[in-house]
Amino acid sequence: MESRPQSRRWLSRIVGGGAFVALGALAVNSVPSLAVAWVVVVLLLTVYLFAFEIVAVDVAAPALAAKVVGREEAASALADLTEADRIVSGGRSVKSAESYDSVIRPLAASIGATPGASRAAVDAGYAPHSHQVGQTGKVVNPSLYVAMGISGAIQHLAGMRTSRVIVAVNTDAEAAIFQHATYGIVGDLFTVGPLLKSEFEALD
């Protein structure tokens, strides 16, 4: 298994609830150009295209009668994991389905990403099997893969290690995922996740 130690970068370190420096205003003293490069990457990845069509309709009196003849669920705007250009995945550290819905999904939505999950998170019932990334789930190859609280088990790496840019967030600085990450943040996903979401939304 190939690792990329030369490409590993530490953007920030959070210890015991210490302050996190938001990526949008990050200043890395040892590698100042890295902070600039990272913000540029984020800016490029958070460009969205929306198309709206406004149609004027004149309805003559009396008002038209209407009745509900059926209901159809709106098609999801999210790409399937195997086709997604951006993915935000949660691991066992998410701790519950409620936390997955309140941290992972909103973070994914802030950059137009598809939510994913590790096998451990799926087995624990935090996310559906359709979200599972890995050898026993779906093999993905996005431009951006954000691993939140994922340790980097071999079967998970087999499904996402070819991602162009991998951002890992984990409280364990020795987690295997960091050996494959382009950027790493040592910190609690419950602290880092909302801060990243706020920074990404501010870039819109």
Q: How confident is the model at residue 132 (pLDDT cuts 50, 70, 90)?
A: very high
**Total count of domains within the chain:** 1
Going by pLDDT thresholds of 50, 70 and 90, the confidence category of residue 47 is: very low
For residue 56, being part of any structural domain is answered with: no
Provide the Cα torsion 36, 39, 43, 46; round to 10°: 160
* 3-state secondary structure labels for all residues of the chain: CCCCHHHCCEEEECCCCCCCCCHHHCCCCCCHHHHHHHHHHHHHHCCCCCCCCCCCCCCCCCCCCCCCCCCCCCCCCCCCCCCCCEEEEECHHHCCHHHHHHHHHHHHHHCCCEEEECHHHHHCCCCCHHHEECCCCECCCCCEEEEECCCCCHHHHHHHCCCCEEEEEECCCCCHHHHCCCEEEECCHHHHHHHHHHHHHHCC
Please give the pLDDT value at position 69: 55
Confidence of residue 78 (pLDDT cuts 50, 70, 90): confident
Q: Which domain holds residue 170?
A: 5-15+24-47+79-202
Here the CATH number for the domain that contains residue 137 is 3.40.50.1220
Is 133 contained in some domain?
yes
Mean pLDDT, residues 134-141: 96
Using 50, 70 and 90 to split pLDDT, how confident is the model at 38? low
pTM of the model: 0.66
The amino acid at 201: E
Look at residue 166 and tell me if it is in a domain.
yes
- Out of 12-21, 120-129, 170-179, 186-195, least confident range: 12-21
In a domain, 32, yes or no: yes
Number of Cβ within a 10 Å radius of residue 14: 18
Domain assignment present for residue 67? The answer is: no
Contacts of 103 (CB under 8 A, 6+ apart): 90, 94, 148, 189, 190, 193, 194
Query: Which pLDDT belongs to residue 50?
Result: 35
Asked whether residue 63 is assigned to any structural domain, the reply reads no
* 57 within domain boundaries: no
Confidence of residue 74 (pLDDT cuts 50, 70, 90): very low
Distances (CA, A) of 18 to 15, 188, 192: 5, 10, 11
Does the residue 62 lie in any domain? no
Residue 84: phi and psi, rounded to 5, are: -70, 140
Give the distance between the most distant pair of CA atoms in the chain: 73
